[in-house]
Protein backbone atom coordinates (compact mmCIF):
# COMPACT_ATOMS: atom_id res chain seq x y z
CA UNK A 1 0.00 0.00 0.00
CA UNK A 2 1.44 3.40 -0.91
CA UNK A 3 2.51 5.54 1.99
CA UNK A 4 0.12 8.33 1.08
CA UNK A 5 -2.87 6.04 1.84
CA UNK A 6 -1.66 4.77 5.18
CA UNK A 7 -3.86 5.76 8.07
CA UNK A 8 -6.77 6.89 5.89
CA UNK A 9 -8.44 3.57 5.39
CA UNK A 10 -8.12 2.14 8.88
CA UNK A 11 -10.54 2.64 11.75
CA UNK A 12 -7.90 3.29 14.33
CA UNK A 13 -6.19 6.31 12.83
CA UNK A 14 -5.03 9.11 15.02
CA UNK A 15 -6.33 12.65 14.54
CA UNK A 16 -9.50 11.53 12.74
CA UNK A 17 -12.48 13.71 13.75
CA UNK A 18 -16.04 12.40 13.94
CA UNK A 19 -18.56 10.53 16.08
CA UNK A 20 -18.91 6.83 16.62
CA UNK A 21 -22.19 5.08 15.99
CA UNK A 22 -22.68 4.59 19.73
CA UNK A 23 -22.21 8.32 20.40
CA UNK A 24 -24.75 9.20 17.71
CA UNK A 25 -27.30 6.69 19.00
CA UNK A 26 -26.86 7.94 22.55
CA UNK A 27 -27.40 11.55 21.42
CA UNK A 28 -30.53 10.64 19.44
CA UNK A 29 -32.00 8.75 22.39
CA UNK A 30 -31.33 11.66 24.77
CA UNK A 31 -33.01 14.08 22.35
CA UNK A 32 -35.96 11.67 22.08
CA UNK A 33 -36.36 11.49 25.86
CA UNK A 34 -36.21 15.28 26.16
CA UNK A 35 -38.82 15.67 23.40
CA UNK A 36 -41.11 13.18 25.12
CA UNK A 37 -41.05 15.33 28.25
CA UNK A 38 -40.99 18.76 26.62
CA UNK A 39 -43.75 18.46 23.99
CA UNK A 40 -46.65 17.71 26.40
CA UNK A 41 -45.44 20.48 28.71
CA UNK A 42 -45.30 22.92 25.81
CA UNK A 43 -48.83 21.93 24.74
CA UNK A 44 -50.14 22.58 28.26
CA UNK A 45 -48.55 26.04 28.23
CA UNK A 46 -50.08 26.78 24.82
CA UNK A 47 -53.55 25.79 26.04
CA UNK A 48 -53.09 27.84 29.20
CA UNK A 49 -52.19 30.88 27.11
CA UNK A 50 -55.23 30.37 24.87
CA UNK A 51 -57.53 30.06 27.91
CA UNK A 52 -56.07 33.28 29.33
CA UNK A 53 -57.65 35.17 26.41
CA UNK A 54 -61.12 34.50 27.81
CA UNK A 55 -60.30 35.76 31.29
CA UNK A 56 -58.73 38.97 29.97
CA UNK A 57 -61.67 39.68 27.66
CA UNK A 58 -64.28 38.86 30.32
CA UNK A 59 -62.56 41.35 32.64
CA UNK A 60 -62.65 43.98 29.89
CA UNK A 61 -66.35 43.31 29.18
CA UNK A 62 -67.12 43.53 32.92
CA UNK A 63 -65.34 46.86 33.13
CA UNK A 64 -67.21 48.17 30.05
CA UNK A 65 -70.54 47.08 31.59
CA UNK A 66 -69.76 48.83 34.89
CA UNK A 67 -68.71 52.04 33.12
CA UNK A 68 -71.87 51.96 30.99
CA UNK A 69 -73.97 51.35 34.13
CA UNK A 70 -72.32 54.32 35.89
CA UNK A 71 -73.27 56.56 32.95
CA UNK A 72 -76.75 55.24 32.11
CA UNK A 73 -78.02 53.24 35.09
CA UNK A 74 -78.54 49.95 33.21
CA UNK A 75 -76.51 46.98 32.06
CA UNK A 76 -76.62 45.90 28.42
CA UNK A 77 -77.10 42.40 27.04
CA UNK A 78 -74.87 41.39 24.14
CA UNK A 79 -75.80 38.30 22.18
CA UNK A 80 -72.86 36.08 21.29
CA UNK A 81 -71.09 37.24 18.17
CA UNK A 82 -70.18 34.21 16.18
CA UNK A 83 -66.79 33.62 14.95
CA UNK A 84 -67.93 31.01 12.44
CA UNK A 85 -65.91 28.38 14.23
CA UNK A 86 -64.55 28.49 17.73
CA UNK A 87 -61.65 26.21 18.30
CA UNK A 88 -57.90 25.77 18.27
CA UNK A 89 -57.42 28.37 15.52
CA UNK A 90 -57.99 32.10 16.00
CA UNK A 91 -60.83 33.63 13.97
CA UNK A 92 -61.87 37.18 13.18
CA UNK A 93 -64.40 39.11 15.26
CA UNK A 94 -67.39 39.43 12.93
CA UNK A 95 -69.05 42.48 14.48
CA UNK A 96 -68.62 45.71 12.51
CA UNK A 97 -68.53 49.05 14.32
CA UNK A 98 -71.79 50.04 12.62
CA UNK A 99 -73.77 46.95 13.74
CA UNK A 100 -76.47 47.57 16.32
CA UNK A 101 -75.34 45.25 19.07
CA UNK A 102 -74.76 45.25 22.82
CA UNK A 103 -70.97 45.10 22.53
CA UNK A 104 -70.93 48.26 20.43
CA UNK A 105 -73.28 49.97 22.88
CA UNK A 106 -70.98 49.34 25.85
CA UNK A 107 -67.94 50.18 23.73
CA UNK A 108 -66.13 46.85 23.81
CA UNK A 109 -64.40 45.13 20.92
CA UNK A 110 -61.51 42.69 21.10
CA UNK A 111 -58.10 43.37 19.66
CA UNK A 112 -57.17 40.96 16.89
CA UNK A 113 -58.57 37.52 16.29
CA UNK A 114 -60.15 35.28 18.94
CA UNK A 115 -60.26 31.72 20.18
CA UNK A 116 -63.44 32.33 22.21
CA UNK A 117 -67.03 33.37 21.58
CA UNK A 118 -68.46 35.92 24.08
CA UNK A 119 -71.93 36.93 25.25
CA UNK A 120 -73.60 38.95 28.02
CA UNK A 121 -77.07 38.48 29.50
CA UNK A 122 -78.62 41.04 31.85
CA UNK A 123 -81.89 41.53 33.64
CA UNK A 124 -81.73 45.29 33.14
CA UNK A 125 -80.34 47.31 35.96
CA UNK A 126 -79.72 44.59 38.53
CA UNK A 127 -77.40 41.80 37.41
CA UNK A 128 -75.59 40.23 34.47
CA UNK A 129 -73.62 37.16 33.42
CA UNK A 130 -70.74 37.15 30.94
CA UNK A 131 -69.82 33.86 29.26
CA UNK A 132 -67.08 32.69 26.91
CA UNK A 133 -66.64 29.34 25.19
CA UNK A 134 -64.21 27.66 22.83
CA UNK A 135 -62.84 24.26 21.92
CA UNK A 136 -59.24 25.44 22.29
CA UNK A 137 -57.70 21.98 22.25
CA UNK A 138 -59.88 20.60 19.44
CA UNK A 139 -61.17 17.64 21.47
CA UNK A 140 -64.88 18.39 20.88
CA UNK A 141 -65.49 19.63 24.45
CA UNK A 142 -65.93 23.33 25.16
CA UNK A 143 -63.67 25.25 27.53
CA UNK A 144 -66.06 27.67 29.27
CA UNK A 145 -65.38 30.71 31.45
CA UNK A 146 -67.66 33.31 32.95
CA UNK A 147 -68.47 36.04 35.43
CA UNK A 148 -71.74 36.19 37.41
CA UNK A 149 -72.81 39.46 39.02
CA UNK A 150 -75.71 38.50 41.33
CA UNK A 151 -79.03 40.21 41.78
CA UNK A 152 -78.54 42.56 44.77
CA UNK A 153 -79.51 40.94 48.07
CA UNK A 154 -79.39 37.39 46.65
CA UNK A 155 -76.80 34.72 46.01
CA UNK A 156 -77.83 34.11 42.41
CA UNK A 157 -77.46 35.92 39.12
CA UNK A 158 -79.15 35.53 35.76
CA UNK A 159 -78.81 32.67 33.28
CA UNK A 160 -76.06 33.41 30.79
CA UNK A 161 -76.50 33.91 27.05
CA UNK A 162 -74.87 30.58 26.20
CA UNK A 163 -76.39 28.73 29.22
CA UNK A 164 -72.92 27.69 30.40
CA UNK A 165 -72.50 29.16 33.89
CA UNK A 166 -74.82 28.25 36.77
CA UNK A 167 -76.75 31.23 38.18
CA UNK A 168 -75.11 30.54 41.55
CA UNK A 169 -71.67 31.48 40.19
CA UNK A 170 -68.57 30.06 38.59
CA UNK A 171 -66.85 26.96 39.95
CA UNK A 172 -64.56 27.19 42.93
CA UNK A 173 -61.44 25.15 42.08
CA UNK A 174 -60.98 24.23 45.74
CA UNK A 175 -64.45 22.84 46.44
CA UNK A 176 -65.74 22.19 42.93
CA UNK A 177 -69.00 23.97 43.80
CA UNK A 178 -70.51 26.67 41.56
CA UNK A 179 -70.62 29.33 44.25
CA UNK A 180 -68.16 32.07 43.24
CA UNK A 181 -69.97 35.31 42.47
CA UNK A 182 -68.30 38.52 41.24
CA UNK A 183 -65.21 36.53 40.17
CA UNK A 184 -64.00 35.32 36.79
CA UNK A 185 -63.75 31.55 36.69
CA UNK A 186 -64.65 28.31 34.94
CA UNK A 187 -68.32 27.66 34.19
CA UNK A 188 -67.88 23.92 34.60
CA UNK A 189 -65.47 21.73 36.55
CA UNK A 190 -63.80 20.49 33.35
CA UNK A 191 -62.64 24.00 32.39
CA UNK A 192 -60.61 24.57 35.55
CA UNK A 193 -57.17 26.03 35.10
CA UNK A 194 -55.75 22.84 36.62
CA UNK A 195 -56.84 20.97 33.48
CA UNK A 196 -53.86 22.54 31.78
Of the chain, the percentage scoring pLDDT greater than 90 comes to 32
Residue 88, pLDDT > 50, answer: yes
User: So what's the pLDDT on residue 182?
Assistant: 93
Q: Does the residue 125 lie in any domain? A: yes
At 117, phi and psi to the nearest 5?
Answer: -105, 140
Q: Does the residue 11 lie in any domain? A: no
Q: Does the residue 14 lie in any domain? A: no
Q: Does the residue 1 lie in any domain? A: no
Please tell me whether the overall predicted TM-score, pTM, comes out greater than 0.85 for this model: no
User: So what's the pLDDT on residue 194?
Assistant: 41
**Edge-to-edge, what's the strand order for the sheet holding 184-186?**
117-122, 128-134, 143-149, 184-186
- For the chain, the domain total comes to 1
More confident residue, 83 or 89: 89
**CA atoms lying within 13 Å on the CB side of residue 196:** 18
User: So what's the pLDDT on residue 17?
Assistant: 76
User: So what's the pLDDT on residue 13?
Assistant: 54
Q: Does the residue 2 lie in any domain? A: no
User: So what's the pLDDT on residue 83?
Assistant: 62
User: So what's the pLDDT on residue 11?
Assistant: 54
Give the integer Cα–Cα distance in Å for 177 and 29: 45
User: So what's the pLDDT on residue 57?
Assistant: 94
Q: Does the residue 52 lie in any domain? A: yes
Q: Does the residue 85 lie in any domain? A: yes
Of the chain, the percentage scoring pLDDT greater than 70 comes to 86
Mean pLDDT of the chain: 83
Q: Does the residue 137 lie in any domain? A: yes
- Once rounded to an integer, what is the mean pLDDT over residues 158-165? 89
Domain that includes residue 49, residue range:
21-195
> What are the helix (H) ranges across the chain?
21-72, 102-106
Amino acid sequence: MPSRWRGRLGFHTRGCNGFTLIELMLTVSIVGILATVAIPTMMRFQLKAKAAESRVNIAAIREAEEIYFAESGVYVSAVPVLPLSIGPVRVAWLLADTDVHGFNEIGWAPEGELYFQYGVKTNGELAYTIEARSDIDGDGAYNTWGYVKPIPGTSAGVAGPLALCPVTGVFDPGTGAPNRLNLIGPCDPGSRASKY
